Every structure is written in structure tokens, then in C-alpha cells.
Structure 1
Amino acid sequence: MLKNNFCVGCIIFQSLDNEDEFNHAVSCSGATLDSVNIAQINHVGLYIGNGQIIEATQKQGVIMRPLSAFLDDANENVITTINEPSLIAPAIARAKSYLGLPYNFSFHPDDKGLYCSQLITHAFKTHQGNDYFQCYPMNFRDTTTQQILPYWINYYDKLKQIIPHDLPGSHPQQLLRQSSCFASIIHLKTHEMLTFA
């Protein structure tokens, strides 16, 4: 069944096993009280076939690398396929055109480069040219306290920028919650064997 459901154009959401302060803050910023099962999701990439994935990383910007290495970085992978297969080829072409762009450290919608979920929202467009995935007002607050996380206060102090709270953007968890966009969603732990088309 996995072989039939996992194919070119799958979007892979991850809970990275490198639980540093940045990844923890990203996880917390995407969480909602009703999304406990995906509360640790903090990264996403696009499988383009031939054992390769395109993703936006902090260290290298937008890159293509082996899928096996990508999967090894995570505690959990959520494999999804979209409802509109005809959008996949143009999405992959757009994603390839972003290779070499820097990482968008500010998460500002108009800043140069792309962050991981922004890569996905930019790549997937409807045939009319609209976004396939909805953007949402970005959140930098802790779900419980409703206060801006101290990590983000320090992070943006170093960038000398205002926190782009409530500006339009995206987050891996927020994309994954748009269940009507997906034909299938499969949760897998890293030890489970995968076959890729």
C-alpha cells in the first residue's frame, strides 16, 4: 500500500530529531490546542522523484538532496499526496527554479529567499495561478501563555527586525491541518521501511 501511495510530488512533513532551540520554537509556534498529534512537526520538503527531495534549510538555503538523508534527520515523517495530481509537475518545476535561493530567516513574506513551508506554498499553485495552500496570520506566541516566545524576542532582536506576528505566512503544521488539500496522509516513524516510486 505504501508503494502505491508514495510517489513523485509527495509532500513530506517532519519532526526533526535535532531538537535545538530553533526547531523547538518552530514546533511551539505552529501548535494549536486541537493539533496534539502534529504538535512536533517543524519541517517540510517536496519529493521530486529519483530518490531526491527539495527543501529549504537554514544552513544551505533551498537545496536538492537524497531522500534517504532527509528521512534520517527525522523522528517522524508524515507522507502526503495532494488532491490535484495535475498540479504536481508545475510545482516540481517551480521548486527546481528556487534551488540556490537563501533561507528566509525573517519569515517576512517579502524578504529574499524561502523558508521550508514557504517553498511549498510558492511551488503549489492552482491552474488559475492562485495559492493551492492557504496562508494564515503567522504566530510567534506560546499556545498556553499567549505570550511571544522568549526565543523569538531574542531571535528578532539579533536580526534587528520587528517580529512579523500576524503577517501572512505558513507553517508545516498549518499546511498539514488543511486536510481538504490532501488525498492521503500517512504517519510513519523513521524505522518503518518505505518504497518510493
Structure 2
Amino acid sequence: MVYIDDCEEWPLNLLKTGDLLFVRTDNTDALSRQIAAATQITTTERTMNYTHVGFLEEATANCFWVMHASPRKGCCREALADFLQENQTGVDAYRLRGQQIDYTAVAQRARQLLGSPYNFSFIADQPGYYCSEFICTIFKQAKLFKSIPMQFGPDKQILPAWQDYYQQLKLSVPVGQFGSSPNSLIAQTFPQHLKFIARIV
């Protein structure tokens, strides 16, 4: 567990249950690079290039867990310190605002998904969950996030790395099928319903 007194360099006093932790691109990880290349979004205000997202839960005073869907661990709950250790490329905290959301109920829905496998296909009707699918599922009742046609390269192209990826899965590239990404979650809600809180690492 992470406590404020132990980690003064982290702005933990700014965080609370319901915050979303977005992980910046890891250029050393092949899957992270592929996600970044396919889903990066540039607006007049900012470039969004996140490749992972988790849900923050404050279990007791200043004591935090992260629930998320991890390629290595599946749908899991882990101490914030461990989450940050594994994502040293950088983590930004965002908070939904202007919404009447029961975060206790959202956390309960997240706990119900724990133990589910990671959905490496990114296809909605396949078993398990990928990271943004996990977030969309637990926030489904808030009706904030919508599925969008997935892309696997710029200008509706399919990058060769994704062709190879799906060939290994023995599946067709689901270009145009509905799904999500960390960047699409931000694009739909920032800044009207989502605000930046802090850069944690």
C-alpha cells in the first residue's frame, strides 16, 4: 500500500476514489508502441498518447489501490506503489466532474471483474477485458464513454505490426469494429467532464 507519509514526492493528498490513472507510452514495450501508433489523438489543445488506464480506489485514509486490466495479470487489484513501479514512463491522474456518480458502486463493479482474463483481441465479444474496456464496463451506468470504430493505423490503414499481431491470434484485424482506447476515453470527456489532477510520476 502507498501512504502519503511514505511518499511525499507523490501528490497523493490530491487523489481520491474514482480518479483515472492514465499511463504514458512505453516505447520499450511492443504492444504499447502499437497502441500508441494506432490511437494517438491530436487536438488544438493537446496530444493524447496514453496506452493504459486504471481505476483508483482509496481503501482507507490515504491508502490506495488500482484496479485495471493488465496484459500480464488480467483484471487485477494492486497497490498503487506497484502500479507506479510497473509504469515508470509516467502516470497522470484525471477526475470526472459534474457527474453524480456513485463511486462506491463503480468500485464494487470493478471488484466483480477481478480475475477475468485480459482481452488480447480487443474484440468486444471475446472473453475478458482490455484496459479501456474495463473502465467503460465499470462506468457503464454513468453513460460517459461510448465505443468508437477502432483503428489500427493512421488514415484507416492497418500498420504491419497489427497485421502480424492478429495473424498470431488467428483473427482478422477488427478495424472498424466498435471499441475504445485510453485516448478515446479522454477525447470524449476532456475538458467538459474530465479534468487533469496531477502528474504522479
* TM-score when normalising by structure 1: 0.84
Following superposition, the deviation at residue 18 of structure 1 comes to 6.0
Q: Partner residue of 1:194?
A: none
The aligned runs of 1:110-189 (5 Å cut-off) are: 110-126=125-141, 131-141=143-153, 143=154, 146-178=156-188, 179=190, 180-182=192-194, 184-188=195-199
Partner Cα distance (1:28, 1:111) in 2: 23
Q: Which amino acid aligns with 2:196?
A: I
Instruction: Specify which of 71, 79, 89 is matched with residue 104 of structure 2.
Output: 89
For each residue in 1:159-179, what CA deviation from the matched residue of structure 2 results, as whole angstroms up to 9, or x when unmatched?
Answer: 110111111111001101121
Q: Partner residue of 1:98?
A: 113
Q: CA RMSD in A?
A: 2.1
Partner Cα distance (2:138, 2:54) in 1: 11
Structure 1: which 5+ residue stretches go unaligned?
191-197
Partner Cα distance (2:94, 2:120) in 1: 26
The aligned runs of 1:66-85 (5 Å cut-off) are: 66-72=79-85, 73-83=87-97, 84-85=99-100
Q: How many percent identity over aligned positions?
A: 28
Partner Cα distance (1:27, 1:168) in 2: 18
Runs of 4+ in 1 over 6 A off after TM superposition: none
Partner Cα distance (2:116, 2:47) in 1: 28
Q: Which amino acid aligns with 2:129?
A: L
Following superposition, the deviation at residue 154 of structure 1 comes to 0.2
Partner Cα distance (1:43, 1:118) in 2: 11
For each residue in 1:101-134, what CA deviation from the matched residue of structure 2 results, as whole angstroms up to 9, or x when unmatched?
Answer: 000010001111000000000000336xxx3211
Structure 2: which 5+ residue stretches go unaligned?
1-10
Partner Cα distance (1:119, 1:138) in 2: 16
SS in 2 for 1:96: helix
Q: Partner residue of 1:53?
A: 66
Range moving further from structure 2, 118-127 or 157-166: 118-127
- Number of equivalences: 183
Instruction: Specify which of 38, 52, 55 is matched with residue 43 of structure 1.
Output: 52
